[in-house]
Structure 1
């Protein structure tokens, strides 16, 4: 008898939250209750090696689309995403996916966002993926951990609404000059 599968769904989700997304998705094949727990899982940890260990470049588009489908499903079901963690090698075309994912995560009231884009050096300069402006509208965001992004002030005049932000970790980021001036003025007040 499988006693673990008889546990309430919130406990199964808690168990799945400790696994990488790849392993949690595999667990969903065990039974309908595990599938249900996986489909409503709000802790999505893709780990550091999902995209780095994939030697078959043909699988990469499927992985990128898979992440999009997972987030879109949570958005359509109105599931708040508690935590999202992912490391992605830099490639300009992949920034499109990052922008799409961040839009979906903000719509899913993301609480903790951990994104790392491994940067490359091209013709003597470091390439960074521009952080989408929608992140400044993430009202529920408590923890933001970014690595390898270019951060600019919103150009459309929107204000930063990161009212719930409690922790900000920036590593290997490029800050816009205007943003640096704003923070310098705020620090003197």
Structure 2
């Protein structure tokens, strides 16, 4: 059984939880709350010197860090992975987009507003993030207006990676009513067999 060190309210950690549920991978969840500096403890830093969750610890003691790398590792060979090199590249394209052009703005505003309660103190950063987050959402909306899924014409870990923070974007003051194709995509994912909702 693998060990998952994560924080339930984190979208990046939720990615790992959801792929485990979808693939029926047995796992032990070890709640590790960054707000309580649990990711900065000496014992945790030995597992991840970067002081972040999620990480997974395999039965052989190997440790894998970074949410999308974990998704890639756990999903390999499943229906949520690419069938060939081209499909794998399509999936990775959107997963890199999620981490570089999406998560830094949408997830960060959610964190500042909902969990740090610093909407006034950090209004300038929120405003800057908001513009960039809207740009990412518009790219997603344009794609989903013509496609049901982000890669390979089926639900893959590319969708899972983008879903985690997108479906909670309203908590960062993004109005998803302006993005009907994204909302339909969210509903499609939530109707998938063995879907597990995010706790927050």
Q: TM-score, normalised by structure 2?
A: 0.30
* Structure with more relative contact order (C-alpha pairs < 8 Å, separation 6 or more): 2
Is the radius of gyration larger for structure 1 or structure 2?
A: 1
Instruction: Choose between structure 1 and 2: higher strand proportion.
Output: 1
The structure in which a higher percent of residues are helix is: 2
Q: Normalization by structure 1: what TM-score?
A: 0.31
